[in-house]
């Protein structure tokens, strides 16, 4: 009886000893790298030292080197251009980038070609798990632009994000025909700037008959009601008899 008890005690002691040894030999899971950066950071760690405008900034790497970075595949309206000056939503995009990134630790992800003709790094900016280039598109503060292979890693998802912003009509997409494939067109923001000029595509002089007088623009998918700022200069590409009918067809109401 005593021998059996002794054997049980020895067995328990052996199990405990093995458990202690196993714990001591197990590798330690580190949540961060020695410099305090998250080991899972996307791209090369850097700190944002200065924001030039919505899509351009200066960063400082761990080795002390400072680089100017131009965000890939996006374009925000200008705020400091010598010829274009301050464009609509330029100040908003610049302020957003400054607020979100100034002094922050970010990840700099390069694509295939590293620099543009001005010597700036071309990169995707990561803040946490968020691609900041894509965030600008999501907020309606930038358009997809400068799509030059081979730097096209995220172009498909960027375009999908832009399409959602267009459908919501937010930011740069709230001004009809302002953001286009070849840039930003300020003369599209207000028809009053063309009051004394003959439109390139003259609007139809025919007034819609009866109550069917809501004009739709097929390109922008925006509809205009009588009395709206852009109503008279909008060509009636499609006519609706009610706002409900226009909305059912996928059109959204002009904000001006």
The β-bridge partners of 215 are 224, 239
The DSSP H or E segment spanning 252 is strand 252-253
| From 78, 92, 138, 176, active-site residue | 78
| From 70, 92, 138, 143, active-site residue | 70
| From 92, 109, 120, 176, active-site residue | 120
92 is catalytic: no
The DSSP H or E segment spanning 56 is strand 56-61
Region class of 159: left (phi > 0), else alpha (psi between -120 and 50), else beta: alpha
**Nearest C-alpha neighbor of 219 from the set 168, 184, 176, 165:** 176
Alpha-carbon separation of residue 20 from 23, 24, 29, 30, 154 (angstroms): 5, 6, 18, 21, 48
- The SS3 of residue 90 is helix
Query: Are the C-beta atoms of 110 and 121 separated by less than 8 Å?
Result: yes
143 is catalytic: no
Question: Which are the catalytic amino acids?
Answer: 70, 78, 120
């Amino acid at each position: 009886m005593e021998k059996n008890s002794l054997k049980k005690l020895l067995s328990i002691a052996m199990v405990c000893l093995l458990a202690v040894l196993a714990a001591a030999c197990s590798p330690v899971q580190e949540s961060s790298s020695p410099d305090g950066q998250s080991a899972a950071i996307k791209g090369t760690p850097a700190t944002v030292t200065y924001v030039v405008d919505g899509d351009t900034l200066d960063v400082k790497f761990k080795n002390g080197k400072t680089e100017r970075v131009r965000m890939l595949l996006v374009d925000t309206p200008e705020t400091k251009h010598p010829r274009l000056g301050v464009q609509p939503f330029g100040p908003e995009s610049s302020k957003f980038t400054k607020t979100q990134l100034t002094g922050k630790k970010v990840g700099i992800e390069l694509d295939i070609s590293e620099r543009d003709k001005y010597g700036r790094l071309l990169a995707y900016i990561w803040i946490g798990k968020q691609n900041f280039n894509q965030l600008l598109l999501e907020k309606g503060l930038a358009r997809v632009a400068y799509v030059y292979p081979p730097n096209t890693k995220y172009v498909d998802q960027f375009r999908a994000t832009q399409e959602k912003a267009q459908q919501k009509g937010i930011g740069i997409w709230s001004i009809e025909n302002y953001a286009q494939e070849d840039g930003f067109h300020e003369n599209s923001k207000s028809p009053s700037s063309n009051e004394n000029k003959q439109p390139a595509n003259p609007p139809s002089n025919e007034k819609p008959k009866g109550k069917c007088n809501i004009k739709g623009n097929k390109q922008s998918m925006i509809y205009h009601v009588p009395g709206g700022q852009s109503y008279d200069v909008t060509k009636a590409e499609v006519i609706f008899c009610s706002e409900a009918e226009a909305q059912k067809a996928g059109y959204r109401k002009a904000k001006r």
